[in-house]
Amino acid sequence: MNLKISHPTKFLFGKVDLPPSKSITNRLLIIQQLCDQSFEIINRSNAKDTELLVDILASDRNVVDAEDAGTTFRFLTAFYATQEGEKILTGSARMKERPIKVLVDALRELGADISYMDQEGYPPIAIRGKQLRGGEVKIDGSISSQYISALLLIAPRLEIGLSLHLKGKIASKPYIRMSLELMKRMGISYLWKDNVITVPSQKYKPLSVIVEPDWSAASYFFQMAALASSSELTINGLNKESIQGDSIVSSLFEQFGVKVSYLKKGIKLRKEIPDNPYQQFDYNFYECPDLAQTFVPIVAQQGLPAIFSGIQSLRIKETDRVEALKNEIAKFGIDLLPFDDESFELKAQEYKPTTKPIETYNDHRMAMAFAGLALKQDELIIKDAEVVKKSFPSFWDALDKIGFKVEEV
């Protein structure tokens, strides 16, 4: 499905309902399976990845296809390693290119029986689950926080718990904190001192949990608020005390002129002239890599020189996101120049509207990150726009409610 996106007035007003956090929901679903008693997950995500995980956990099939859901694959790798029985865990063609070795090596150190069925270090894998003893294990923390979260979620159910030593710089640390905070809410005690996280053997407590709206999804509306000629948006459900690291987006957009007011049950965004506008945008996305795509279009549109660093994990996501961003932003006359695996530069160049369609590379964030640029031209074509189902199924409906015209072409 290809969509033509436009906004007749370029004035952005209205209310936005965000999806519940996929990241929080998926963690709670694993905890729910590890808890001796069931508990209610209120406001559960309906994202494609979450629905897939729900379906998988409810089934007893031996061959499990996690498709292109990275979090699902990694969480299930650790979960199945602790459950009696045999599973073959596979995924899409892209998933088979995404490394799993760091997690498998750590699980093997804890006693897991996991073998590769094709290329060493990559899916598909065969898992012979059993009760794992636990103990000490070292893991490279610089590659993906999902490996660390996968281990932490199973840690309380290991015979002697887990002492997790993190080597190197830790990637996406807020996502690790999210896992630990959810575990704490479910009765789990832990100690994080220096580079070691210790989780004793214990039981999860069955307590009902309300899932927060998704701050990553909110970032696209911050971007749109900045791109619009005028804007006043109410985003329901968000709050200052979020456990999501991507809530940092509220401060990052201040210098783009987006003022945030916190309401009783949400936030309000207004576009104002910033006191100290960006002259150059340099930011390290190491702890919030999912936000990098949100900022590339607006930085390019405003003609700012920029350096995006801490983006190494973008190359092993749903697509190589650095290459995808480079290809698509070039359609607007902007050069994205990779420095190395950890950073890229945007040149200060004249932004030019384009009639070329935006490719999405089977990546939900490419579709949502570029949609806002329709506010800076007559219309914009987004190809394969249904990819938003992965995290925000109602995204195009949300745009329709704040004045965008969304047409299938």
Q: For residue 166, is pLDDT > 90? A: yes
Give the pLDDT band (50/70/90) at residue 132: very high
What mean pLDDT, rounded, does the chain reach? 94
Write out the catalytic residue numbers: 290
- Which residues, including other chains, have CB under 8 Å from residue 89's CB and lie 6 or more apart? 64, 66, 73, 76, 77, 80, 123, 124, 125, 126, 127
**Residues in a beta bridge with 407:** 4
Q: pLDDT of 297-356, one tens digit each?
A: 999 999 999 999 988 887 777 778 989 999 999 999 999 998 877 899 998 899 999 999
Q: Give residue 393's pLDDT.
A: 95
Half-sphere exposure of 85 (CA within 13 A, CB side): 12
User: Model's pTM, two decimal places?
Assistant: 0.91
Per-residue H/E/C for the chain: CCEEEECCCCEEEEEEECCECHHHHHHHHHHHHHCCCCCCEECCCCCHHHHHHHHHHHCCCCEEECCCCHHHHHHHHHHHHCCCEEEEEECCCCHHHCCCHHHHHHHHHCCCEEEECCCCCCCCEEEEECCCCCEEEEEECCCCHHHHHHHHHHHHHCCCCEEEEEECCCCCHHHHHHHHHHHHHCCCCCEEECCEEEECCCCCCCCCEECCECHHHHHHHHHHHHHCCEEEEEEECCCCCCCCHHHHHHHHCHHHCEEEEEECCEEEEEECCCCCCCCCEEEECCCCHHHHHHHHHHHHHCCCCEEEECCHHHHHCCCCHHHHHHHHHHHHCCCEEEEECCEEEECCCCCCCCCCCECCCCCHHHHHHHHHHHHHCCCEEECCHHHHHHCCCCHHHHHHHCCCEEEEC
C-alpha torsion sign, points 349, 286, 321, 244: negative
Q: Give residue 32's pLDDT.
A: 97
Q: pLDDT of 252-301, one tens digit each?
A: 999 999 999 999 889 999 999 988 899 999 999 988 989 999 999 999 99
At 14, give phi and psi (nearest 5°). Answer: 135, -170
Q: For residue 169, is pLDDT > 90? A: no
- The first and second tokens of residue 32, run together, are 């729910």
Query: What is the C-alpha separation between 124 and 34, in angstroms, rounded?
Result: 24
Q: For residue 114, is pLDDT > 80? A: yes
More confident residue, 170 or 360: 360
Q: Are 214 and 243 in contact (CB under 8 A)?
A: no
Of 226-235, 298-307, 311-320, 369-378, which gets the smallest average pLDDT? 311-320
Q: Give residue 159's pLDDT.
A: 96
